[in-house]
Amino acid sequence: MRAVGTVLLLVVLATAVATGAKRWRIPAPSLLVLVGLAVALIPGTPALHIAPQTIGLVVLPPLLYASAEELSVRDLRTVWKPVIVLAFGLVLASAAVIGLLGAWLTPLSGAMAFVLGTVLASTDPVAVTALGRRLALPGRVQVLVQGESLFNDATSLVMFKVAVAVAVSTTAVSWTRAGGEFFLLAGGGTLVGAAVAGIVALIRRRTTDPVLETVIALVTPYAAYVLAEELHTSGVTCVVIAGVLLGRSSHRLTDARIRLQLQAVYAVVIFLLESVVFAIVGLELPTLVRDLPAGTGAWPLQALVIALALIALRLAWMLPLSAALKPTTRRPSWRLAAVASWAGTRGVMPLAAALSIPLTTADHQPLQGRALVLTLTTAVVIFTLVVQGLSLAAVVNRSGLALEPEHTAREETDTRDTLTRTALVHLDEITDLETMPTAALDRVRRRLDAQLDHGTDPDDTGAPGGRSVLDAYRELRREVITVQRAELRRLYEDHEISDTTRRRLQHELDLEETGLGGS
């Protein structure tokens, strides 16, 4: 009962904080971490202990799935090489550097310092996506940091398992076996994720009930995660692959009414989970500090040095890779490197990994250094979420890379005009065929002309017409919307519009079709 009350309190607190963050134009994750930290410092606040399986099973699957669905596959194709380099090379380099730094800077043993390095080696997709939603970043930059954070799990997870095995065991670890485990986690997770996406796609194509469709969408990430874990592959990789594949084909799986309902339900679920989990990050730190053994009082300075080292190392890797984000000049750019580096935050996944570190060694002795690893991990996560999160918008604006609101509005207006002209051309073709009542054709044409002139919608203004004309009008409007959707997809695939514009106009077309009513 106490746990339920804590969760409800976190939801209420997160809702109030998120409302204030939106009003003050502050990133909600950063503010939630600060508020959670402030609440935990209030005398009498009960200690918060979160089981790692709670975050891994309850929180991560839907958040990862939503992040993967938002990923633009079209833009990912243009930056897949730097994404692979970062997902493998930078993760390995980060683990090695932080491991060496931890062994030199902290009282941790070499094995536990390596555990710390593997925990903090990869960026977090939940934090990256949550912070990136409100920024008008160019498509390539956004997809680079988001794709990297989604696909570096297998690398960091295998290294983490190897590091933990070294820390808790006195026997040697087989690197050949570790390599095989990497391919099992990454390859197996990919195959299982693709299989789950295929099965879910077949089911959703045959489902027309909005309630059932919503249940399927909510269950999919959990089913993918549990199935992959039961098969001893990467549950995170499985969820990511399933989300990317299903997100790419979502426009073919459901109709407008179901899509709108799914978007509304998922928006609520993601808001609640993100709000609660970022508040938990802040609440955890004071509890962990109280459990620290003597001789570890320098942890704040150590965490600061580790966080700065991660940023510096990331910048060094991003600078040469930034050339891939500039297809015209192919030259490294400090501005691109700085933005991509500052956007690579740590978050929920490192915290979940650190919480899963065993309490004892193979001979049942307490694992020395576990409490300090947990504290340093949480402190670095808080630093990245607060410092990088609160300043990310300023860094983007100073870099000159942010897309101006006028640019986005102009692109949307031009695209709407293109879709309207396409519909008018289709209407002319239907008129020549004389397959529709003239009254229905005239009503649709007046509406499209008004849209092209950016005027008001003249629908249902008392125009005469019987039931047959109304049915023909609805049928014609749906046909026109189908043509506009196809044109919108073509514009996107031909790189003439951004993914943001495509999603917004797709949403408008869905609203328009749903508003027609009828069967």
Closest by CA to 169, choosing from 122, 115, 233, 100, is 115
The pLDDT value given to residue 230: 92
Q: Among candidates 61, 132, 123, 480, which has minimal Cα distance to 317?
A: 123
**Regions of the chain short of the pLDDT cut 70:** 1-7, 52, 132-136, 154, 170-179, 325-330, 402-405, 433-435, 454-468, 517-519
Alpha carbons 492 and 78: distance in angstroms, whole number: 14
* Token digits of residue 5: 């009350």
- Whole-number pLDDT of residue 193: 93
Q: What is the pLDDT of residue 461?
A: 44
Residue at token pair 């897949």: 80
Per-residue pLDDT at 181: 72
Angstrom distances, CA of residue 486 to CA of 104, 201, 247: 59, 20, 17
Sign of the C-alpha dihedral computed for residues 325, 329, 332 and 334 taken in this order: negative
Query: SS3 breakdown of the chain: % helix, strand, coil, rounded to 5?
Result: 75, 0, 25
* Distance of alpha carbon 87 from alpha carbon 301, whole angstroms: 28
DSSP state of 437: -
Q: Can you read off the two tokens belonging to residue 510?
A: 């869905």
Q: Which domains does the chain have, with CATH numbers?
A: 2-401 (1.20.1530.20), 406-514 (no CATH)
Buried b (16+ CB within 10 A) or exposed e, 389-405: bbebbebbeebebbbee
Separation CA 160–CA 97 (nearest Å):
15
CA–CA dist 71, 140 (Å, integer): 11
Please state, in angstroms and rounded to a whole number, the distance separating the CA atoms of residues 157 and 167. Answer: 15
Give me the residues paired with residue 360 across strands: 366
* pTM (global) more than 0.95: no
CB 237 within 8 A of CB 228: yes
How far, in Å, CA of 345 to CA of 382, rounded?
10
3-state secondary structure (DSSP) of residue 20: helix
Nearest Cα residue to 297 out of 371, 219, 402, 214 = 371
Nearest to 84 by CA among 346, 321, 313, 309: 321
First to last CA, the chain: 46
Burial of 95 (0-12, 13-18, 19+ CB in 10 A): buried
Q: How far apart are CA 272 and CA 275, in angstroms?
A: 5
Tokens 């390859």, residue? Answer: 187
